[in-house]
Structure 1
Amino acid sequence: MIKLIRGLLFLILISICAVDCSPVKKYSSVNAHSHNDYENSKPFTNAFGEGFGSIEADIFPVNGVLYVAHNKKDIQQKNTLKALYLDPLLKGLGTDQSRKVNLLVDIKENHQEALSLLAKELQPLMPYLSTPAAAKNITISISGERPPPADYKLYPDYIFFDDDLKRPHTSDEWKRVNLVSLQFDKITQWKGDGPIPAEDLKKLKQTIDSVHKAGKPIRFWAAPDTAEAWKEQMKLHVDLIGTDKINELSSYLKKGK
């Protein structure tokens, strides 16, 4: 925990955009993140249809193609990133150009090859891709196996990176970070029932506030996927609420909880 806080303080000091992120005033499906989205019955379609602001896909580069799967042994020929996500995203934005989506691409192996292939496959979406200079409809965030921050400049400016606060960044490298994602159960073992222990609550609040002061939004993974946990994350001003329960979280947010 001490290393995490030190890392956060370092980021605050070196970030030229180190301003407080405004807390979410009213949560909606825009603040929802579909974790391992490809594992649900309707990849992309369900989360996008519910208005989710962030969708996650794990990828493997195999024989010049990006495949979506959690494990390499589970790859199916039909489940390419292009077929499951990029083509449907292009179609969806063709009918609704007001939508904004964070596509979190979790690279499972060989980030050099994966990023090279991704840059090619994203070409039809170029008019919609955000860069540090201009926010647009789609933000591509790279998670999982990533290059070191010093190499971010080697990749197109429409490629952003998810960060876990384990490596230092210069201010220019920090501009390429779009999101901070941290493992919830490394901070607290709270399981989603009853109150969060006071000391753990303090650690969570310090972490979230520090990320916001470094100018970035935050999400947690490995958090309990329950209504009580969603509620507590919203009280703490977590920016993206992750879930494997797309319809349940969507209904919860629509009720204005």
Structure 2
Amino acid sequence: MAPRAPRAGAARGAVPGVPLTAKAPIPPRVCAPNPGAKWVDGLNAHNDYQNRRPLKNALSNGATSVEVDLAFDPSGRLMVTHEAIGDPEGREFRATYVKPLIDRAKKNGGQIYPGQNGKFQLFVEVKSKDGVKQRKEAYEKIVKAVKDLPDSVEVVLPVSLIVGLPGQNPVENPPPHITFSQGFTACTSTAERGCENGERCKVPDQLDPATPKDPHLTAYAEHVTVLNGSFSDCVSSNGSLTEDEKRKYQELVDRAHAAGLKVRLYEGPDGSKRGLSSGKFFQCAIVACNNDQRHDWWNLQIAAGADYLVTNHLGTGADWLTHCGSPKKK
């Protein structure tokens, strides 16, 4: 995918302080039952590297996006890990994710799933001490590692990774295959736009086309494609879902889609928890392990037309999405 140029009339000649629209709104997503589908739109493998077979488990279940955490090992390689340093299993980023996707696309006529219209997405986070020098090195190594990905694969990096880097803002002029995600803005007052009804979070002003902004933000908004936030920050602090919380979540998704942004919320109720390696699950008593709350949350995401079902349970998630709801209690 070549870098996108700003849309005609969006930045050049625009007047400071007027609303600007960087990209077209996303139409409401409607779930259509499709048992036996070769891929499952919206199925997102949370912390995919913790599965017994990273990437392979996701692909075998039809996931269309995976989340990968990276950190430097002592020799300076970017390794797949949830820790800030190193990787006990020695999985290097390019070898574990980039090269297998390249090889798979070559076998499938350039696509990850033959016939798939959308792009397969790699959500990449970097665990670091947050120094500008280390983040700059990580960004440059990621760009180098993914430069030969096929056009059918897109890498989504957090805006926070490149904040404060020297030179031109990379969000405004990303290399091929790369777009960005940004967090929601926490609501602190009902006087704020998007917070009038007691919402917990909102679309950031710099990405909301209804909020006046300077023209230079148009290029920035063009390349931020996903709003990435926490379930507890934006929906519910205790995991239960009231009718009011459901309504506010629907409104949040609608506003994000009106701004041309996809919605990804992580750490929602997801059944039993998975350990940090080997794909093993363990029973627990915390809210995130409550199956009834998981059912409510997954049903809400389908009803709201959210873009990603973030889960550790790929088989159950695939079953759920292809049936537009649970075919059986799990």
TM range (shorter): 0.7 to 0.9
Contact kept? 1:106, 1:145, Cα under 8 Å: no
- Report the structure number with the largest CA radius of gyration: 2
Match of 2:321 in 1: 253
Match of 2:158 in 1: 143
Q: Structure 1 residue 65 and structure 2 residue 133: aligned?
A: no
Contact kept? 2:31, 2:302, Cα under 8 Å: no
Distance in 1, matches of 2:79 and 2:251, equals 38
Deviations, residues 13-52 of structure 1 (Å, cap 9, x unaligned): 4333242433234377121100100011111001112211
Contact kept? 1:21, 1:216, Cα under 8 Å: no
Between stretches 92-101 and 234-243, larger displacement belongs to 92-101
Cα RMSD (Å) = 2.5
Residues 25, 248 of structure 1: CA spacing in aligned structure 2 closer, same or farther, 3 A cutoff? closer
Query: What pairs up with 1:110-189 in 2 under 5 angstroms?
Result: 110-125=134-149, 128-129=150-151, 137-143=152-158, 145-148=160-163, 150-153=169-172, 155-166=174-185, 168=206, 170-189=217-236
User: Shift in Å at residue 158 of structure 1?
Assistant: 2.9
Contact kept? 1:191, 1:224, Cα under 8 Å: no
2:41 is paired with a residue of what secondary structure?
helix
Deviations, residues 77-135 of structure 1 (Å, cap 9, x unaligned): 6211112111111122122233331110112223211111112111332xx13xxxxxx
Residues 103, 222 of structure 1: CA spacing in aligned structure 2 closer, same or farther, 3 A cutoff? same
Amino acid at match of 1:178: T
- TM-score in terms of structure 2 length: 0.65
Residue-pair matches, total: 235
Structure with the bigger percentage of helix? 1
Contact kept? 1:17, 1:215, Cα under 8 Å: yes
Residues 45, 211 of structure 1: CA spacing in aligned structure 2 closer, same or farther, 3 A cutoff? same
Match of 2:61 in 1: 50
Contact kept? 1:108, 1:145, Cα under 8 Å: no
Contact kept? 1:182, 1:219, Cα under 8 Å: yes
Contact kept? 1:31, 1:241, Cα under 8 Å: yes
Distance in 2, matches of 1:222 and 1:27, equals 25
Residues 77, 243 of structure 1: CA spacing in aligned structure 2 closer, same or farther, 3 A cutoff? closer
Amino acid at match of 2:63: F
User: Shift in Å at residue 251 of structure 1?
Assistant: 2.2
Match of 1:241 in 2: 309
User: Shift in Å at residue 74 of structure 1?
Assistant: 5.9
Residues 234, 256 of structure 1: CA spacing in aligned structure 2 closer, same or farther, 3 A cutoff? closer
Residues 161, 15 of structure 1: CA spacing in aligned structure 2 closer, same or farther, 3 A cutoff? same
Match of 1:107 in 2: 126
Match of 2:210 in 1: none
- TM-score in terms of structure 1 length: 0.81
**Fraction of identical pairs, as percent:** 21
User: Shift in Å at residue 160 of structure 1?
Assistant: 0.9
Distance in 2, matches of 1:92 and 1:68, equals 20
Q: Structure 1 residue 17 and structure 2 residue 29: aligned?
A: no
User: Shift in Å at residue 252 of structure 1?
Assistant: 2.2
Q: Structure 1 residue 228 and structure 2 residue 228: aligned?
A: no
Distance in 2, matches of 1:229 and 1:175, equals 30
- Give the gaps of 5 or more residues in structure 1: 1-11, 130-136
Q: Structure 1 residue 89 and structure 2 residue 108: aligned?
A: no
Match of 1:218 in 2: 263
Deviations, residues 175-215 of structure 1 (Å, cap 9, x unaligned): 1112111211113327666xx21221222122111100001
Distance in 2, matches of 1:26 and 1:74, equals 42
Match of 1:4 in 2: none
Amino acid at match of 2:28: S
Distance in 2, matches of 1:190 and 1:250, equals 26
User: Shift in Å at residue 151 of structure 1?
Assistant: 4.1
